[in-house]
Structure 1
């Protein structure tokens, strides 16, 4: 933690600790070998036309001490590969249709599959559907209406995935033996199930409904990149998106009914506050450096946000789906020349956070008051 290495794509003065705004620079990430050795390595993309670099090793945050550095090895790897953008769609149906009850799973599958195919016809390669959308208004107990994954309901989307070479994330209640989960099923471009995410943070009354919570935040390798999921209330716990980001996701797919932070702050029927909603989703994308793909059950405010926090698509309630091209290879840099993604992760000091990882941290006592 006390050691850091940076590459400046120029030749700053040895005593210059600030590079100003004209110089591009990058962190070099470290691996701790043992108690006395840290190894730095990385593949960096030089600015166009650059012909020099300076590597700066620093011993910091201590008044005394010393370090010894080996001579660094720098290898020219040639031209950096280009990363094609991914066309992403969020399929919900128009608000007037999204709110219409579909009393059978078959009707729900038909509703969403038809619109998913339309998005695929427009070139979408990653499609996200809303929370538990395949059994949302279906009558019956959770145990009665929960679905198998894979199973007949997901097979329709698997067929579309194979036909179009698309990755499709479907929300449903999933039955696994005697347990029911709130699930996001990730169907890859070959029609296989890349993985299932089980909602970890259940909403207030959902937590007493018999639904079983998940126990982790997996990220799945797919044809379009690495995909992680949160579902609805997960978004209210900052750690949910942070874990997906730390697991190296390119996309966070968020099927969501709504957000209690982005609603009226008084008793009564919820009412979407779009300004709050936009702020919440934008910050999640920036803080964790992935693309947010947000599928809201009632359509309005479903959106696609890039790593810089820009809204690439936003549904005002009048579209069956929204679609956007997401630049995965974009190198977003801050005003001072640093790579935002590197700064975002390199500034963390996780060993300081350990006190709050206990089941009953002392600080929790103050949270018991209303």
Structure 2
């Protein structure tokens, strides 16, 4: 049976479940909500499928939610798990979301709301939103909102939602390293790699989890052209770097020139702790010099899962445009490694802040270092030949005054980007 709900006065009830039987009745006591009647979508309770539906009324302004309030204890951790199925939704990241709004005993907000990340999405419309949060000081309840908005024809069916006390998230520590080094007047790629190996070994001996090398490590200082040093991936350079990665059980990011049949790319490779190439990114934004040198741009922004988190890669000129970093962040990148010849360091700051990621630069003529989510350089390799290492906990959120967890809000509130 589908029960249609008339939107009127909202009454929030406290409820929770602890048994399997109660979990099956999770749809009980949820209440419809919209900021005003003109925005209200159609809200339906489907008792046959044990789900809550929200459908647009045929206009883009539709914005409504199911709400339910749960009791919480200060400083205890809680986990939200919300599964959904959507249809005809142009931009799920903006239209389908969960909000956790902390309230005191009088119902007043005591902290900035949380916006849990979308953890899984499939091509057939299935999705999962999850997050673990501590109840802030002064909180007595958490108002959970299952939101659907800004879709002219779409709908979302919330099929399973669970809110319960949880253990704190386990730390995800990663030691990031970056290298400041530039070979001079060498005989070719092999000599370059041998010189870079000194810095890689230094990072490995300091137990780095991942080290970033600059752009074009096989061409700088050789006097050769891009085409002269282009090679297959995997190939001789990745084999050399792979041996170092395996020896020190450390990921390596490095910029080389990749040849695929008659096409040559400016490529950043990701080599894992076993020495295998597990990812590559082909530079999508090419400056005039590379175009004139016969390079072809890539066309995708892959993100790679490591044993400590998700990483993406950009190369040099990419940082001058907002789209590469934004696409990587939308795909889940928590750290962006950037082999770079040189560039405007103000843009390093901007990309870190606007995407709430850690940015790691390895450069010949700009600063080589690590920028945090607030745009601060937290570690810098100032001298040529130096290596810097910085450890972070990727599980630890960055909270901004007035904004809360800005990283959780970005995909929900940012405009549509090109080709999205």
Paired residues for 1:280-319 under 5 Å? 280-298=347-365, 301-318=367-384
Q: Tell me, yes or no, if the aligned pair for 1:87 and 1:126 is still in contact at 8 Å.
A: yes
Q: 1:106 to 1:3 in 2, by over 3 A?
A: same
Aligned to 1:53: 142
Q: Tell me, yes or no, if the aligned pair for 1:199 and 1:234 is still in contact at 8 Å.
A: yes
Quick one: distance in 1 between partners of 2:175 and 2:116?
A: 31
Gaps of 5+ in 1: 263-276, 359-370
Quick one: distance in 2 between partners of 1:211 and 1:217?
A: 18
Quick one: distance in 2 between partners of 1:235 and 1:175?
A: 24
Q: 1:103 aligns with which of 174, 187, 191?
A: 187
Secondary structure class of the residue paired with 2:177:
strand
Aligned to 2:409: 343
| Residue 83 (structure 1) aligned with residue 176 (structure 2) | no
Quick one: distance in 2 between partners of 1:32 and 1:150?
A: 30
Structure whose alpha-carbon radius of gyration is higher: 2
Paired residues for 1:104-119 under 5 Å? 104-119=188-203
Q: 1:253 to 1:176 in 2, by over 3 A?
A: same
TM-superposed CA distance for 1:39, in Å, is: 8.4
Aligned to 1:127: 211
Q: Tell me, yes or no, if the aligned pair for 1:113 and 1:156 is still in contact at 8 Å.
A: no
Quick one: distance in 2 between partners of 1:198 and 1:234?
A: 11
Q: Which structure shows the higher strand fraction?
A: 2
How many matched pairs?
320
Paired residues for 1:1-370 under 5 Å? 2-3=63-64, 5-11=98-104, 19=109, 22-28=110-116, 41-47=129-135, 52-56=141-145, 73-76=161-164, 78-93=166-181, 98=182, 100-259=184-343, 262=344, 277=345, 279-298=346-365, 301-318=367-384, 320-336=386-402, 338-350=404-416, 357=419
Q: 1:32 to 1:196 in 2, by over 3 A?
A: closer
Q: 1:337 to 1:155 in 2, by over 3 A?
A: same
TM-score, length of structure 2 as denominator length: 0.68
Deviations 1:311-366 (A, max 9, x none): 2212323552111112211111122362111122211242xx6xx659xxxxxxxx
Aligned to 2:13: none
Quick one: distance in 1 between partners of 2:354 and 2:378?
A: 17
Q: 1:122 to 1:295 in 2, by over 3 A?
A: same
Q: 1:51 to 1:191 in 2, by over 3 A?
A: farther
CA RMSD of aligned residues (A): 3.3
Quick one: distance in 2 between partners of 1:53 and 1:71?
A: 20
Q: Tell me, yes or no, if the aligned pair for 2:175 and 2:210 is still in contact at 8 Å.
A: yes
Quick one: distance in 1 between partners of 2:193 and 2:63?
A: 54
Q: Tell me, yes or no, if the aligned pair for 2:173 and 2:393 is still in contact at 8 Å.
A: yes
Quick one: distance in 2 between partners of 1:250 and 1:153?
A: 27
Aligned to 1:366: none
TM-superposed CA distance for 1:179, in Å, is: 1.6
Q: Tell me, yes or no, if the aligned pair for 2:114 and 2:404 is still in contact at 8 Å.
A: yes
TM-superposed CA distance for 1:226, in Å, is: 1.5
Q: Tell me, yes or no, if the aligned pair for 2:132 and 2:169 is still in contact at 8 Å.
A: no
Q: Tell me, yes or no, if the aligned pair for 1:173 and 1:181 is still in contact at 8 Å.
A: yes
Q: Which structure shows the higher helix fraction?
A: 1
Quick one: distance in 2 between partners of 1:205 and 1:239?
A: 21
TM-score, length of structure 1 as denominator length: 0.76
Quick one: distance in 1 between partners of 2:283 and 2:147?
A: 42
Quick one: distance in 1 between partners of 2:232 and 2:159?
A: 57
